[in-house]
């Protein structure tokens, strides 16, 4: 019997000597906690990139549009200065001015600047204020009095309405 008792005591003492892992003595994270944290971080980064990605990749577009609009405003100012300098032109001076603007649908890079002539038409307005296209209708009494010029350079198109002074 003695031997059984001593064996029992040895087992008990061996159990007592094993280290116990409690939350107070734990010094790190478990593998499961690390995997969960990395997964949540990856999902958050993916959502952030999905949300912010287009804003970052297209952030130059407003500046490009502003540059194009400013260049077009410069073209319009140059056209207006030349137009005002005409005074009351004769047919030759007016024709030279309108020819220098370029043909409809053409790309221009001249003293006014770089632009595309989207539309260049002679127009008038009826009694209710509706625009009437007179291009090609040289017999109309108002033909040659208003030139509608729409120019563009990749930004927003700009409409210029020029009246033929003295006509």
Please check whether residue 23 lies inside any domain of the structure: no
Q: Report residue 158: phi and psi, to 5°.
A: -120, 130
What is the predicted pLDDT for the residue at 147?
87
Could you tell me the residue range of the domain that residue 42 belongs to? 29-59
Tell whether 128 and 111 lie within a shared domain.
Answer: yes
Q: Quick check: is 15 in a domain?
A: no
Of the three residues 59, 78, 101, the one that is the final residue of a domain is 59
| pLDDT higher than threshold 50 for residue 28 | yes
Residue 10 placed within a domain: no
The answer on pLDDT for 23 being more than 90 is no
Residue 19 included in any domain: no
Same-domain pairing of 71 and 126: yes
CA–CA separation, 135 and 123 (whole Å): 7
Q: Contact, 116 vs 71, CB < 8 A?
A: no
**48-90 pLDDT, tens per residue?**
888 887 777 777 788 888 888 899 999 999 999 988 887 665 6
Give the pLDDT score at 48.
87
Question: Does 78 share its domain with 134?
Answer: yes
pLDDT band at 139 (very low <50, low <70, confident <90, very high): low
The tally of domains found in the chain comes to 2
pLDDT at 17: 58
Tens-digit pLDDT profile for residues 87-131:
665 667 878 888 899 999 999 999 999 999 999 988 888 888 888
Model confidence, pTM: 0.61
Q: Indicate if 157 and 85 belong to the same structural domain.
A: yes
- Please check the confidence at residue 1 and state whether its pLDDT lies above 60: no
SS (H, E, C) the chain: CHHHHHHHHHHHHHHHHCCCCCCCCCCCCCHHHHHHHHHHHHHHHHHHHHHHHHHHHCCCHHHHHHHHHHHHHHHHHHHHHHHHHHCCCCHHHHHHHHHHHCCCCCEEEECCEEEEEEEEEEEEECCCCCEEECCCCCCCCCCCCEEEEEEECCCCCEEEEEECCCC
More confident residue, 146 or 37: 37
């Amino acid at each position: 019997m003695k031997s059984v008792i001593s064996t029992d005591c040895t087992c008990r003492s061996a159990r007592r000597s094993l280290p116990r892992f409690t939350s107070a003595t734990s010094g790190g994270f478990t593998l499961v906690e690390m995997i969960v944290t990395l997964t949540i971080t990856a999902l958050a980064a993916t959502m952030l990139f999905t949300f912010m990605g287009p804003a970052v990749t297209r952030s130059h577009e407003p500046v490009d549009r502003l540059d194009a609009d400013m260049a077009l405003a410069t073209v319009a100012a140059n056209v207006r200065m030349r137009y005002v300098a005409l005074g009351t032109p004769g047919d030759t001076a007016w024709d030279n001015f309108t020819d220098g603007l370029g043909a409809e649908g053409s790309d221009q890079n001249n003293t006014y600047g770089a632009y595309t002539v989207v539309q260049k038409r002679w127009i008038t307005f009826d009694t209710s204020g509706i625009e009437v296209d007179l291009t090609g209708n040289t017999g109309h009494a108002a033909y040659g009095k208003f030139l509608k010029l729409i120019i563009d350079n990749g930004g927003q198109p700009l409409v210029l309405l020029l009246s033929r002074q003295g006509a």
